[in-house]
Amino acid sequence: MLIAGNWKMNAASMEEFGTMLERAPEVAAKGVDLLVCPPFVLLHRLAEAAAGSPLPIGAQDCHFAEAGAHTGDVSAGMIAEAGGTAVIVGHSERRTDHREVDALVARKAEAAQAAGLKAIVCVGETEAERDAGNAESVVTAQVTASLPQGLDPARLVVAYEPVWAIGTGRTPSLDDVAAMHGAIRETLSARFPGSAIAILYGGSVKPGNAAEILAIETVGGALVGGASLKADDFIAIALAAPQAG
């Protein structure tokens, strides 16, 4: 189980982060992995504060190039140097705000792994796509096109985040989550036979719904936005995960 926090363009206070650090061993003792992904400018500071703790730090995006003339961008290697161990790529807000397409997401995932990072690749359908009955075909096509063949499945995580559930307080039914995760698993097994890539659910995960979502057999954890800014909520979500093994 991985519970990853995506702070987006928000900063929790150092006090909140300090509480997360203090409580991280309690989560680790349950066999649950944590990850916090702050904005770039906080990455180094948090990674330093968390050194030696079971609370790794990641980033929310990276460029596919190693370095060069890419104003405003940050490379995967820079994230690793700053102390990051993972990076989220293809989040729906990147796909919308920055018009990122699957082929670009795939290059970013490759760059992340080349720099030694874990790549967390996000996919998810819009409400219109779900209403039209196309959710599974849209999402499995995203999975295929966003994950290049050469990726190392051991350092790959897929996050299913229905766009309409992000930040809205709405979530799919547990059956819909299970069905989608099953479809993603089938697609992953075809591409990476025999691998056990974790598939997270994301979209309005809170302490109140975490236990039932994380209890779904095919759900390997959660990508948490809003609720990851509050230490109590974030830790409560992680502690709601079923015991490993």
Catalytic-residue membership of 161:
yes
In this complex, which beta carbon is closest to ligand PGA, that of residue 84 or of residue 226? 226
Residue with tokens 């161990």: 85
In this complex, which beta carbon is closest to ligand PGA, that of residue 77 or of residue 88? 88
In this complex, which beta carbon is closest to ligand PGA, that of residue 60 or of residue 140? 60
Q: How many residues bind ligand PGA (CB under 6 A)?
A: 13
Task: Choose the stretch contacting ligand PGA; rule: CB under 6 A; options: 28-36, 99-107, 161-169, 213-221.
Answer: 161-169
Choosing from 110, 129, 136, 161, which is the catalytic residue? Answer: 161
CA distances from 148 to 25, 48, 66, 113, 169 (A): 35, 32, 18, 11, 33
User: Structure tokens of 90?
Assistant: 């293809």
CB of 93 to ligand PGA, least distance (A): 7
Kindly state whether residue 167 participates in binding ligand PGA, applying the rule CB under 6 A: yes
Kindly state whether residue 172 participates in binding ligand PGA, applying the rule CB under 6 A: no
Kindly state whether residue 166 participates in binding ligand PGA, applying the rule CB under 6 A: yes
Kindly state whether residue 124 participates in binding ligand PGA, applying the rule CB under 6 A: no
Interface residue with ligand PGA among 105, 109, 120, 223 (CB under 6 A) is: 223
Catalytic-residue membership of 44:
no
Task: Choose the stretch contacting ligand PGA; rule: CB under 6 A; options: 79-87, 159-167, 175-183, 212-220.
Answer: 159-167
Look at residues 36, 78, 79 and name the one whose alpha carbon lies nearest to residue 54: 36
CA distance 136 to 102: 16
Interface residue with ligand PGA among 102, 136, 161, 233 (CB under 6 A) is: 161
Give the Cβ contact number of residue 224 at 10 Å: 27
Question: Long-range contacts made by residues 17-25, C-beta under 8 angstroms, separation at least 24?
Answer: 17/46, 17/49, 17/231, 18/49, 19/231, 19/232, 19/235, 20/55, 20/231, 20/234, 20/235, 21/49, 21/50, 21/53, 21/55, 23/231, 23/235, 24/53, 24/54, 24/55, 25/53, 25/54
Cβ–Cβ < 8 Å for 119, 87: yes
Interface residue with ligand PGA among 3, 6, 61, 74 (CB under 6 A) is: 6
Look at residues 113, 192, 109, 104 and name the one whose alpha carbon lies nearest to residue 153: 192
Kindly state whether residue 224 participates in binding ligand PGA, applying the rule CB under 6 A: yes
- Residue numbers 189-218 binding ligand PGA by CB under 6 A: 202-205
Q: In a 10 Å sphere around its CB, with 0-12 CB exposed, 13-18 middle and 19+ buried, how is residue 98 labelled?
A: exposed
Kindly state whether residue 123 participates in binding ligand PGA, applying the rule CB under 6 A: no
Kindly state whether residue 226 participates in binding ligand PGA, applying the rule CB under 6 A: yes
In this complex, which beta carbon is closest to ligand PGA, that of residue 77 or of residue 226? 226
Catalytic residues, by residue number, are 91, 161
**Residues lying near ligand PGA in the complex (CB under 6 A):** 6, 161, 166-167, 202-205, 223-227
